Structure 1
Amino acid sequence: MALRLYEGKAHAAGYLKNRVIPHEVISRMINYMKKKAPNEFDLAVDVGCGSGQVTIPLAAYFTKVVGTDNSAAQLEMALINSNPPNVSYRQCSAEELPFASGEVDLVMSMSAAHLFDRPKFLVEADRVLRPGGCLAVGCHTTDAELEYGDVSNELNDICNEFYAALSPFRPNGELSYAKKYLEIFESCSYPDQEWTECFRIKRTMPLTGYIGMVESYSSYQCLVRKDPAEAERLSTNIRNKLLSAMKASSADTEVTVVVKFFYGLACKPC
């Protein structure tokens, strides 16, 4: 059975506001598809779409894009977006997609597939994909880095304190997300595959944006549910340590955040 996280409205709102959209990964995914079937861009399905951040960029490439998620709160956030007319959303599980067999050109899941029932999801993805269609799964690591002047190393030591404190609250235990996704990807029977272990994406944002991003992680939200006062104390302490190391007085001071993505692409045999 798939894990059900990201269902609270506050969590969904934080996810929408603070997650980094991996436009560069999407571009690489589209280039892979163009090599396999350059004229097959009718329907893309973003499974576990959350608040639609990665769903919307697909609209530029496909005739129709559908984001699916089992969380009503996440889909409510998705509908707040300025969605292109060819983007819509459906509430359903990743293991039971509301599409006909062979109807879909792309099944994509970014930062969600670790929550699925892996065997059932792969069977369902294979069912809805047309011959020659593509499967794309990926996620970011939970150890984003910061760059700021000549104190980047010091900042990242502080960030690692944050991640270490949250590690016991990760829903998948000790198994890293990268290993989890590699297991998912290796379970796919399609012979035409590409795996990228680490693709670094940089974004400039206020320090508050970095803190908000980590607070949107499922591990932080698990801590919030267990001990909200401790979660707030931890976040405030990390923020203050970072500001001190930066010799900055405002959490709106901009930093460069480096988010590391891993992803796999596979083409269903014709």
Structure 2
Amino acid sequence: MTGATPGRMPALYLSHGAPPLADDPVWPGELAAWSAGLPRPTAILMVSAHWEEAPLALGAVEPVPLVYDFWGFPEHYYRVRYDAPGAPALAERVRKLLRAPGAPVQDIPDRGLDHGAYVPLVEMFPEADVPVLQVSMPTLDPVRLMEIGRKLAPLRDEGVLVVGSGFFTHNLAALRHTGPGVPGWSAEFDDWGRRALDAVDVDALLDFENKAPAGRLAHPRTEHFAPLFVTLGAAEGDLHRAHTAVDGFWMGLAKRSLQFG
């Protein structure tokens, strides 16, 4: 792992996993080991694949119930709690950084953390003692999401951990037809993405639907790859200081997770 700029938090993109992530024999330990090597953040800003809202929205700044945005799972997954402190001061900073003519920022004060936010946080910060704020993705356009990330980048110098939470490959429908193991489209896209990131080929990543092998099969809808572009924007200047913190596959999907800085 390369050294980060002193005093600056890294920016992360993580593959967040479904609620059964907690029962995986390997993945929770990987996330816990990753977080143990991070500087302690003053707050965490989460951008999840599971919240699209325009104009851009800020979630609850005081603790409210989680959003159990999944169906058909055993009952105990709906009893998980993550009572992190709210982050009203961070919300005010985000408003100032993002609000502009033609770019309003709205508040949805009863919107709790969804599973793209709390599932990995339970493993990475189990004490739930770091304030957390979730913001929506107002678009899936990679260029616009990178611009949002750039505007959020100053938060890293204020101790805020900016986290884009998605999944490096995500096509559940195709998995139902490919049987066990890692399907070729998932492995090919993961390898292409790794190489593009190593080369800091941001242009290729922005055009992943056309440039990547099986790009449209790995992401038939792009919401799980989209948070990466918020992270890339926030990490600009540190894109050459990138490493893969978690790799491999889970149920055929690439769980590649990245740290910049």
Report the TM range for the smaller structure's normalisation: under 0.3
Of Structure 1 and Structure 2, the greater strand share is in 1
TM norm structure 1: 0.25
Structure of higher CA gyration radius: 1
TM-score in terms of structure 2 length:
0.26
The structure carrying a bigger helix percent of its residues is 1
Structure number with the bigger relative contact order (C-alpha 8 A, sep ≥ 6) is 2
